């Protein structure tokens, strides 16, 4: 009997979702190994409204990968020193070396979003960002970096539902901040800022890809599938490995004090 993909409400069946995710994560491992072998440099930017599900996708992408190869960058508020630097300077040290994948959980596009709307930058700084960002990204691409940009789109109704979940959950409460409240109060300003940002930075060389994120499971599968399609890779065939027996001759381990061990609570 063929497994059903969707429930009567149009949601993905849990077993189908988990099987698809496992398949995609296997492909991500293959891609990772190819990136490492061929010395590729990959940058993926995740932007979008608060509670749009960026973190969930990043988690599923990196879950089975080597953290020395696939690295997550989520920078906090810039220091006074960083505020005085060239705007892109604080992001440059986090760019990948050969054989690395860097996932930016928010990025230099903070200037076109929250900094613009909340007044954390001047109009001159904002206009300079819009002029220089496409040039900066062209430089990255010319240097050999594969640059992929995702914008996660979520409806007002779904965002409100997710905010409520965060507020009422002891596990998720840390995700909700005062800035989230401000984002709801400035919905029009954020929408206009996003549209202006796209007008300047959605270029032929470095386009934005919009992920419809009201359904988290579909968003994860769709985004990962697309990501895999944007990085050319081949499966690396490894030699079969036969584990040799452990040779313990000539060494007796000293006894350990019982207090050394973590107590068996479970």
Specify if 161 maps to a domain. Answer: no
| Coil, strand or helix at 12 | strand
Question: What does the radius of gyration of the chain's CA atoms come to, in whole angstroms?
Answer: 22
Contact 61, 28 (CB under 8 A): yes
Look at the chain and report how many structural domains it folds into: 1
Find residue 209's DSSP bridge partners.
Answer: 150
Q: Is residue 208 part of a domain?
A: yes
Name residue, tokens 């749009």.
52
pLDDT at 10: 83
Write the CATH number for 225.
3.40.50.300
The whole-angstrom separation of Cα 43 and Cα 88 is 15
- Can you say whether residue 243 is alpha, beta or left, with left for phi > 0 and alpha for psi between -120 and 50 degrees? beta
* Distance (Å, whole) CA 30 – CA 239: 15
Q: Residue 51, CB half-sphere, CA atoms under 13 Å: how many?
A: 25
Run of H or E residues at 226: helix 216-230
Predicted local distance difference test score (pLDDT) of residue 2? 52
Please give the residue range of the domain that contains residue 69: 32-156+187-236
| Residue 266 counted as domain residue | no
Rounded to whole angstroms, the Cα distance separating 266 from 260 reads 17
- Alpha-carbon span 107 to 199, nearest angstrom: 18
Residue at 95 is within a domain: yes
Within-domain flag for 21: no
pLDDT at site 61: 98
Residue with tokens 């491992």, as numbered in its chain = 29
CB neighbour list of residue 137: distance below 8 Å, 6 or more residues apart: 147, 201, 203, 205, 206
Does some domain include residue 205? yes
Per-residue pLDDT at 3: 64
User: Is there a domain that residue 250 lies in?
Assistant: no
Count other C-beta atoms under 10 Å from residue 136's C-beta.
18
Cβ neighbors of 198 (< 8 A, separation 6 or more) are 151, 208
Instruction: Give the chain's largest Cα–Cα span.
Output: 74
d(CA 155, CA 213): 8
Token pair belonging to 39: 């010395």
Distance CA 136, CA 11 (A): 40
What is the predicted pLDDT for the residue at 33?
Answer: 98
- List the pLDDT tens digit at each of the 266 positions of the chain: 456 888 888 889 999 999 999 999 999 999 999 999 999 999 999 999 888 899 999 999 999 999 999 999 999 999 999 999 999 999 999 999 999 999 999 999 999 999 999 999 999 999 999 999 999 999 999 999 999 999 999 998 988 888 888 888 888 787 777 777 777 778 899 999 999 999 999 999 999 999 999 999 999 999 999 999 999 999 999 889 999 998 888 888 888 887 788 888 89
According to DSSP, residue 57 is labeled H
Q: What is the 3-state secondary structure (H, E, C) of 118-131?
A: HCCCCHHHHHHHHH
* Residue 262 burial (CB count, 10 A): 5
Per the DSSP assignment, residues forming a β-bridge with 70 are 101
262 located within any domain: no
Query: What confidence score (pLDDT) does residue 113 get?
Result: 95
């Amino acid at each position: 009997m063929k497994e059903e993909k969707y429930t009567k409400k149009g949601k993905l069946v849990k077993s189908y979702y988990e099987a698809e995710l496992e398949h995609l994560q296997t492909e991500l491992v293959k891609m990772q190994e190819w990136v490492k072998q061929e010395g590729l440099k990959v940058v993926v930017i995740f932007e979008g409204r608060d509670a749009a599900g960026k973190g969930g996708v990043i988690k599923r992408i990196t879950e089975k990968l080597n953290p020395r190869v696939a690295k997550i960058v989520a920078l906090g508020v810039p220091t006074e020193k960083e505020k005085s630097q060239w705007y892109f300077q604080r992001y440059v040290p986090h760019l990948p070396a050969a054989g690395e994948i860097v996932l930016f959980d928010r990025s230099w596009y903070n200037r076109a979003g929250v900094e613009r709307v909340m007044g954390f930058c001047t109009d001159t700084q904002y206009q300079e960002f819009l002029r220089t960002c496409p040039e900066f990204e062209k430089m990255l691409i010319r240097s050999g970096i594969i640059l992929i940009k995702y914008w996660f789109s979520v409806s007002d109704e779904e965002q409100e539902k997710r905010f409520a979940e965060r507020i009422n959950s002891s596990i998720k409460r840390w995700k909700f901040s005062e800035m989230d409240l401000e984002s709801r109060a400035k919905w029009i300003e954020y929408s206009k800022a996003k549209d202006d940002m796209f007008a300047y930075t959605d270029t032929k060389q470095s386009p934005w890809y919009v992920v419809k994120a009201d359904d988290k499971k579909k968003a994860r599968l769709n985004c990962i599938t697309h990501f895999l399609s944007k990085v050319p890779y081949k499966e690396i065939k490894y030699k079969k490995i036969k584990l040799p027996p452990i040779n313990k001759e000539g060494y007796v381990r000293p006894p350990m004090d019982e207090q050394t061990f973590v107590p068996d609570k479970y």
